[in-house]
């Protein structure tokens, strides 16, 4: 990332990631609120943390692109490593909350009624996460940005977790209410697995 054109592309990719995270967070919060689906609510929280993570990445790539100065004689590139660590911690926080809430609902048998809105928002989420993950990963490899690569991995996790939630909601529509919290537990497992690999 030595040339200004490369830095510009990295910053643009990070900014688009923030915008996508914001839109998905708002959409999932609205649908989760009205349907009371734990799977969708968990995904909303996950997307909210993604928004914070994407913001951290945007700041990191901006700082990392600065040239060396008297206080940072070797440049600012190391800040991207801290961004990757911050995203790992956010994944752990998300997984912990999902596990707690899913078990609480299973024990209390708090299940939702079937609805099409949860399924629809998960389909939109899967499409958006796939597109932005591909964009971020390509840019990360092209310009050797660790923060963008972590972001891409993070959003691939989102895509997988959205698929799990979608499957759970389909089971709910078939009359198995427990599918919603079980889908949420599936999300937590995916998150823990990816956060472990990211934190290595």
Per-residue pLDDT tens over the stretch 19-38: 887 888 899 999 999 999 99
pLDDT, residue 74, reads 44
pLDDT, residue 123, reads 95
Section 115-133 average pLDDT:
91
Q: What distance in Å separates the CA atoms of residue 168 and residue 98, rounded to the nearest whole number?
A: 14
pLDDT, residue 64, reads 60
Check if the beta carbon of residue 14 is closer than 8 Å to that of residue 151.
yes
Check if the beta carbon of residue 104 is closer than 8 Å to that of residue 56.
no
Q: What distance in Å separates the CA atoms of residue 144 and residue 199, rounded to the nearest whole number?
A: 18
Section 93-105 average pLDDT:
91
Structure confidence at residue 3 as a pLDDT band (50, 70, 90): low
Please state which CATH class domain 4-198 belongs to.
mainly alpha
Structure confidence at residue 152 as a pLDDT band (50, 70, 90): confident
Model pTM above 0.75: no
Q: Which of 84, 60, 95 is nearest to 154 (CA)?
A: 84
Give the start-to-end residue ranges of the domains of the chain. Answer: 4-198
pLDDT higher than 70, residue 117: yes
Per-residue pLDDT tens over the stretch 78-88: 666 676 777 78
Hey, how many other C-beta atoms are within 10 angstroms of the C-beta on 101?
19
Per-residue pLDDT tens over the stretch 33-74: 999 999 999 888 877 877 776 677 677 767 665 555 555 444
pLDDT, residue 148, reads 76
Cα 41 vs. chain centroid, distance in angstroms?
13
Tokens of 128: 């958006």
pLDDT, residue 166, reads 95
DSSP 8-state secondary structure symbol assigned to residue 71 = S
CB-based contacts of 162: which residues, under 8 Å, 6+ apart? 43, 122, 125, 126, 129
- Element housing 93 (H / E): helix 79-108
Tokens of 150: 């972590």
């Amino acid at each position: 990332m030595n040339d200004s054109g490369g830095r510009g592309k990295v910053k643009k990719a990070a900014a688009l990631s923030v915008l996508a995270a914001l839109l998905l967070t708002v959409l999932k919060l609205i649908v989760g609120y009205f349907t009371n689906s734990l799977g969708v609510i968990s995904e909303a929280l996950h997307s909210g943390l993604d928004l914070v993570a994407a913001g951290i990445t945007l700041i990191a790539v901006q700082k990392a692109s600065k040239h060396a100065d008297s206080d940072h004689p070797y440049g600012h590139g190391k800040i991207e490593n801290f961004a990757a660590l911050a995203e790992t911690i956010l994944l752990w926080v998300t997984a912990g909350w999902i596990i707690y809430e899913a078990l609480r609902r299973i024990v209390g048998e708090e299940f939702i009624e079937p609805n099409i809105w949860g399924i629809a928002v998960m389909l939109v989420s899967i499409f958006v996460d796939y597109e932005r993950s591909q964009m971020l990963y390509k840019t990360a490899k092209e310009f050797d940005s660790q923060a963008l690569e972590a972001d891409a991995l993070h959003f691939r996790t989102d895509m997988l977790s959205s698929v799990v939630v979608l499957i759970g909601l389909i089971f709910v529509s078939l009359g198995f209410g427990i599918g919603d919290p079980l889908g949420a537990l599936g999300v937590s497992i995916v998150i823990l697995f990816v956060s472990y690999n990211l934190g290595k």
